[in-house]
Amino acid sequence: MTQPAFEQLKDAREGLLSDFEKGRASDSLPRDSSEIMDQYFRRSLQESTAGRNLFADKKAFAFISVGGYGRKELCVHSDIDIMILFKSRIPPQAKPLAKEMFFPLWDLGFDLGYGIRTTRDCLNLAMSDFEVFTSFLDARFICGDSQLFLSFVRDFHDKCAKREARALGRWLESMAKIRVETYGDASFVLEPHLKEGIGALRDYHHMLWLGKVFYDVKTPRDLEYYGQLSHGEYQELLKHLNFLWVVRNYLHLLSGRKNDRLNFEYQEPIARKLGFRKKGQFAAVEQFLSKLHVSMSAIKSLHRSFMRTHLRRRNSSRRNTGPAQIAPGLHLFLGELHFQSPEKILERPRILMEIFEQSAALSAPLSLEATRLVEEFGYLVDETFRETEAVIRSFLNILNNKNAFQALDQMYECGFLETFIPEFSRIKDRVQFDAYHTFPVGIHSLQTVKKLKELGRGKDILLPNIYVELSNPEPLLIAALLHDIGKTGKNHAQRGAIIAKKILARFSYPEDLSKDVLFLVRQHLLLSETATRRDLNDEKAIVQCARAIATIDRLKMLYLLTCADSMATGKRAWNDWVANLVQELFFKIHHLLAEGELATQNAALKAEKTKRQVRRFLGDQVAKEKLQR
């Protein structure tokens, strides 16, 4: 006797989850889960009395999967979003049909989101709610009357998708801002949201939805076939998506429920499930989080470029005057930077750096095509390129520009920063498994530069005033970028100074300024560690710091670096208590260096008393000026 449909579903699902936990077919679980659910609905409809009655009465209906189920992305505890569609009226037999089809799913513990609607109902809902609109973009026929489904798709495309394409683009942009505020940037937050965070699965969905309304994309692969993504970009996207789906499925299993927030408690177990093992200084969980960071950063970067390029192209005026040349081989079009041609890169490889210099100067991003070309021509960045004076000057111009972070972030995302500074690749995706460091090491370094550039935006008036007083802030900015370059093991500050020295030598950077950079990298923890671990009333601690720092200019740079570094680390590293302690230490050291006196009046009195005693004991044997020193 043939098993009932729900028994077949139960057995197939148990087998699928067993295989997944054993590491078999892990990448295909969302697709396989969707297909066994499809089989359930088809078999159940064959067994349904209400379904046979509707067919006999010639009442056309169709079962349509929408949302994640429509995209074949069912994870272990995903909702089953299903709709029964009728043409113009919903007959009384619809209710018993829903009971026969849906009740067994509830009995098996599935979360079911369902609706029974007519075509007109669907179109009205789609026009009033973009959440419904996007779910219909993912609609997929399961069983029933296929002609009714095709008619619905045609009506939705003609009456909704075409008319509301630009409005959808604006809605997606607004939703991205809400997602940042609600879920954060999943590519570097400590506990990322795997579905809604920036860099998570929703970024991919946005690209897919825009492709469907703008370019009539039918399947994800059409993004490549229709030229919206290159072959390499699409393959990379698939690789990163598959990894996210595997992680999400393990998260659902370990949570025992639908859960997309990767909390600390699940990170180490998932790392073990995925086969990560400790390698030297790097814990298994840190390797796992680094790989996750790489995947989510790649998805975020591709999504950002895709949305910017295609939304601007659609929203631009038809009377646009065309590209404007802004430098040899570079032009600006629709607010984005483009190479005039790939040949220009071959003729002048340094244009690879100059496009980022122009990006900082004009506050204009690289186009998606320009980013592709930077990646493809990365092989031109060899030792000769890295030592070319004009290239290095362009790079330093980027650092000195007020938009340095935006340009560096683009260099980081497309891999150009680590291509130009190979040492940066060792820390780029380094994740520290604790609640202290908010960002991976590479992003933290860029955020430190960003905090320096934003000093004037905060309430603290002291920091921007100190920055303005610097005779040359460039060594400080270089140190901010390189201060954690040695963070691949213990004693990272000392190790970082050694690595930074090699980078500066390659830059042929002036010796006197190099000394300042190396000092800052080597001592970037001095003020924070002294302020939080030593008694600031202990004159010995103040004097030791003053001797190590030696000059007021270095003290100012070190203080600014300490503040920016701590702000970029996270709230646990920088709060009012820490800020006040570091500021107090700064003023005491400054007083000592500026006045040539100890930092407290009490200590000065003690010192004067000691001098008198020495003077009485030695008499005229020592000159007065030597004793004073």
Can you give the pLDDT at residue 459?
73
Q: Give the integer Cα–Cα distance in Å for 381 and 43.
A: 59
Query: Among 162-176, 336-350, 609-623, where is mean pLDDT lowest?
Result: 609-623
Residue tagged 């007021």 (tokens): 552
Indicate the range of 136-140, 152-156, 177-181, 455-459 predicted with least confidence.
Answer: 455-459
DSSP letter, residue 4 = P
Report pLDDT for 599. 43
pLDDT confidence bin for 430, thresholds 50/70/90: confident
Q: Are strands 330-333 and 80-86 parallel, antiparallel or unpaired?
A: unpaired
Burial (Cβ within 10 Å: 0-12, 13-18, ≥19) of residue 258: middle
Residue 330 pLDDT = 95
Report the alpha-carbon distance of residue 535 to residue 599 in Å, rounded: 13
- The 10s digit of each residue's pLDDT in 75-112 is 999 999 999 999 989 999 999 999 999 999 999 999 99
Q: What's the Cα-to-Cα distance from 70 to each of 127, 157, 161, 467, rounded to whole Å?
A: 20, 16, 17, 55
Mean pLDDT of the chain: 90
Q: What are phi and psi of 543, to 5 degrees?
A: -65, -40
113-124 pLDDT, tens digit per residue, is 999 999 999 999
In this structure, CATH architecture of domain 5-161: 2-Layer Sandwich (3.30)
In what order do the strands lie in the sheet containing 336-339? 324-327, 330-333, 336-339
Task: Note whether 116 and 94 are within 8 A (CB).
Answer: yes
Say if residues 192 and 169 touch (Cβ distance below 8 Å): no
The residues, ordered by sequence, that sit 6+ positions from 252 with a Cβ below 8 Å of its Cβ are 75, 76, 77, 78, 258, 259
**pLDDT category of residue 598 using cuts at 50, 70 and 90:** very low
pLDDT of 624 strictly over 60: no
- Which part of the chain is CATH 3.30.460.10? 5-161
Mean pLDDT calculated for residue range 294-315 = 85
- How far apart CA 168 and CA 127 sit, in angstroms, is 10
Judge residue 260's burial from the number of C-beta atoms within 10 Å of its C-beta, 0-12 exposed, 13-18 middle, 19 or more buried: buried
Given a cut of 70, whether residue 629 has pLDDT beyond it is no
Residue 626's pLDDT band, with cuts at 50, 70 and 90, is: low
Instruction: Measure the CA–CA gap between 276 and 94, rounded to whole angstroms.
Output: 51
pLDDT in tens, 528-574: 999 999 988 888 899 999 999 999 999 999 999 999 999 988 777 78
pLDDT tens-digit series, residues 320-367: 566 788 889 999 988 899 999 999 999 999 999 999 999 999 999 999
Comparing C-alpha atoms, which of 244, 224, 234, 247 is closest to residue 295? 244
Tell how far CA 325 is from the center of its chain.
Answer: 32
CA angle at residue 585 from 582 to 590, to 5 degrees? 125
Torsion-angle region of 78 (φ positive above 0: left; ψ -120 to 50: alpha; else: beta):
beta
Cβ–Cβ under 8 Å, residues 437 and 443: no
User: The whole model's pTM is what?
Assistant: 0.83
Q: Report the distance separating Cα 157 and Cα 539, nearest Å.
A: 76
Note the pLDDT tens digit of each residue in 294-304.
999 999 999 98
Residue 597 binned pLDDT confidence (cut-offs 50, 70, 90): low
> What pLDDT sits at residue 324?
86
In tens, the pLDDT along 121-142 reads 999 999 999 999 999 999 999 9
- For the purposes of burial, counting CB atoms within 10 Å of the CB of 8, is it exposed (0-12), middle (13-18) or buried (19 or more)? middle
Separation of alpha carbons 138 and 133, rounded Å? 9
| pLDDT at residue number 325 | 86
Contacts 24+ apart (CB under 8 A), 344-350: 345/373, 345/377, 345/380, 346/377, 346/380, 349/377, 349/380, 349/381, 349/385, 350/385, 350/388, 350/390, 350/391, 350/394
d(CA 390, CA 386): 10
pLDDT band at 431 (very low <50, low <70, confident <90, very high): confident
Please tell me the predicted confidence (pLDDT) of residue 54: 94
> How many CB atoms are closer than 10 A to CB 49?
11
Tokens representing residue 213 in the block: 């309304």
Q: For residue 438, give Cα distances in angstroms to 101, 240, 390, 408, 485.
A: 47, 22, 35, 19, 17
How many C-beta atoms surround the C-beta of residue 181 within 10 A? 7
Percent of the chain past pLDDT 90, that is, above it, reads: 72
Q: What pLDDT score does 439 carry?
A: 81
Whether the Cβ atoms of residue 292 and residue 280 lie closer than 8 Å to each other: no
Extended beta strands in 297-352, E state: 324-327, 330-333, 336-339
* Whether residue 380 has pLDDT greater than 70: yes
